[in-house]
Chain A
Amino acid sequence: MAVTRTDLVLADVAVGDTVPELRYDVTATTVILGALATRDSRPMHHDRDFAQRRNGVRDVFMNTPNQAAWFERFLTDWTGPYGRLGRMRFRMRDSVFPGDEMVMRGTVTDVATDEAGCGWVEVDVTMLAITEGEERVATTCRARVAVPVEAGDNPWQRRGDAWRP
């Protein structure tokens, strides 16, 4: 069962919960704006000829730091501003191109409180790229996100040994 997005607390979350799905129609502007926003001027992210000739792919494709920003947005849409990313691990399997529909889905795999009293949620997120009805797994991400144990708790206030991402 999906949970609501703002000011999520640990008691709201259980293993098996799903994060509300995000669907987005990717255009060349999406890819190029993402490259620009991450100060990435490498041509495979804005020059289709280069991407085809040198990378052997059909078009320009979304870069990794911009994908990280998409994962962050997907997760914090769900947690609200008190959600604090601790760790993200991505695996890039395929590329996201203009013309694809990008779909992001997430499932909670663990809910725990560490020895410092910080509440943690582990989420497996999949970024899919759909081209003319054909679905490909573009990137997978395992994220560890701190959320308040209860109202009034704030993971962002944790420092030093109280923060164990």
Chain B
Amino acid sequence: MSDLPAEILEMVGSVRYEEEGEFPVERGYVWTSCASVENANPLFWDDTVAAEVTDGPIACPTMLSLWFRPHHWAPGRTEAHLPLKVHFDLKEALGLPEAVMTDNEIVFHTPVRPGDRLRTRQVLRSVSEEKQTKLGVGRFWVIDVEYENQDGEQVGVESYTGFGYRREG
């Protein structure tokens, strides 16, 4: 029998935090991302190649999550807008102040293009029993983040495995 609080058990499998990104997909971030890893793929730098290969510019597939990273500050906002909110809900509800991500799977579908308005939603898939690791005592959890574009096409799904824990000592 699970030792998880009822509020956590209710979260498993339920869709949370459906939202639209705060800004449309834009090429400036694509170039910033490429520059950060010195990615010279002509798909992102040469419009002729982009037209030939992908019918026009696209965003780097691995940029999927950044379109939902909230602005660090916004007018009128009184509390931090956290990405992957389910992860932070779990930390708080389970009293686990520290957390790391241990596994991350991304499945890529329809390419993301400049100007797209993407939507996302989060689904908690599982929470483990308490475990002892070298970081401390805590729990592993798996959260799926689903992404779609303004036409309802799925553009990707990310699965995150997190470990929330208390440091020892």
List the interface of chain A (C-beta within 8 A of B): 24, 30, 33-34, 36-41, 54-56, 64-66, 68-73, 76-77, 81-82, 84-92, 154, 156, 159, 163, 165
Task: Give min CB distance, B36 to chain A, whole Å.
Answer: 4
Asked if A68 and B36 make an inter-chain contact with CB atoms under 8 angstroms apart, the answer reads no
Chain B positions 101 through 121: 1 when the CB is less than 8 Å from some CB of chain A, otherwise 0: 111111111110000000000
Residues of B within 8 A of A (CB): 29, 32-43, 49, 53-55, 60-63, 65-66, 69, 72, 98, 100-111, 167
Closest to B163 in A: A92
Q: How many whole Å from A9's CB to the nearest CB in chain B?
A: 14
Q: How far is the CA of A41 from the CA of B111 in the complex (A)?
A: 26
How far does the Cβ of B162 sit from chain A's closest Cβ, in whole Å? Answer: 11
Would B69 and A38 count as touching, CB distance under 8 A?
yes
For the complex, give the distance between the alpha carbons of A64 and B103 in Å.
9
Chain B: minimal CB distance from A69 (Å)? 5
Closest B residue to A156 by CB, please name it.
Answer: B54
Q: Across chains A and B, which 3 residue pairs bring their CB atoms closest together, nearest first?
A: A39-B69, A37-B36, A73-B39
Q: A34-B36, A70-B37 are in contact. Are A156 and B111 (CB under 8 A)?
A: yes
